[in-house]
Chains A and B, each alone.
Chain A
Amino acid sequence: AQSVTQLGSHVSVSEGALVLLRCNYSSSVPPYLFWYVQYPNQGLQLLLKYTSAATLVKGINGFEAEFKKSETSFHLTKPSAHMSDAAEYFCAVSYTGTASKLTFGTGTRLQVTL
């Protein structure tokens, strides 16, 4: 069965510092990978998605993620954190034939400090 592991349930960075949120997946077939952001009491918003076109994917709000098949990873990065980036981030995976059914990681809460 497919699964997604997000290392670190809480990450704290200073404003202006690099953001790195980790995501590893388990799969025997090529997956589609997604990063979603959830602000307090809000729904999920898609940040970016990997669909095998390019290994480095750029998303909204300055985020990007790199698909590394050898490491089964899809880590999310942003060069310079902003206070408005404070939120919960979810990595998710879907597979061929599962029609947009997503398997989510447990989430990483990002805190940005001054």
Chain B
Amino acid sequence: NAGVMQNPRHLVRRRGQEARLRCSPMKGHSHVYWYRQLPEEGLKFMVYLQKENIIDESGMPKERFSAEFPKEGPSILRIQQVVRGDSAAYFCASSPQGAWDTEAFFGQGTRLTVV
């Protein structure tokens, strides 16, 4: 059973371009979470999705950021018109259910560098 798969592992974008980060959850997992890790900081929650639904986006910046988890295919975190401050590691996690005591399994992350 493959773990949470994120791609690409490294992504370089120029300021103003769009970044698309993909996350394929573990088999049988229908709950996906995105976290951002800025340099020298802990992970910050961004968004929680189930298939075709956004459950909690309280950690998402109001502009330029969006996320989806379609019925088929991976979850996508999209950042439009990237700025240098978006440079960070973005981690995806998945769980089989959304209960608060359920372990979430993390992917290896996508390291976004904005130049």
**A43 near B43 (CB under 8 angstroms)?**
no
Starting from the known contacts A41-B108, A100-B33, A104-B35, 10 additional A-B residue pairs (CB-CB under 8 Å) come to A6-B42, A42-B108, A43-B3, A44-B93, A51-B101, A94-B101, A96-B100, A102-B45, A103-B45, A106-B40
Contacts A43-B106, A96-B100; A106 near B95 (Cβ below 8 A): no
A45 close to B106 (CB less than 8 A):
yes
| Bound CA span A92–B55, Å | 20
Shortest beta-carbon distance from A104 to chain B in Å? 4
Q: Which residues of A contact B42 (CB under 8 A)?
A: 4, 6, 90, 104-107
Chain A nearest CB from B22 CB (Å) reads 15
Least CB separation from B92: chain A residue:
A43
**In the complex the two chains form, is B44's CB within 8 Å of A104's CB?**
yes
Asked if B4 is at the interface (CB within 8 A of a chain A CB), the reply is yes
Taking the closest CB of chain A, its distance from the CB of B115, in whole angstroms, is 20
Residues of A within 8 A of B98 (CB): 99-100
In contact, B106 and A97 (Cβ under 8 angstroms): no
Closest chain A CB from B94 CB (angstroms): 10
* Interface size, chain A (Cβ < 8 Å): 29
Contacts of B68-109 to chain A: CB distance below 8 A: 91, 93, 95, 98-109
One of A45, A46, A90, A94 near B43 (C-beta < 8 A): A90
- In chain A, what residue has the closest Cβ to B107? A43
Q: Which residues of B contact A (CB under 8 A)?
A: 3-4, 31, 33, 35, 40-45, 48, 55-56, 91, 93, 95, 98-109
Interface string of A57-95 (1 = CB under 8 A from B): 000000000000000000000000000000000101011
CB distance from A35 to the nearest CB of B (A): 12
Q: Are B108 and A99 in contact (CB under 8 A)?
A: no
CB <8 Å contact, B104 and A102: yes
Is the CB–CB distance between B43 and A101 below 8 Å?
no
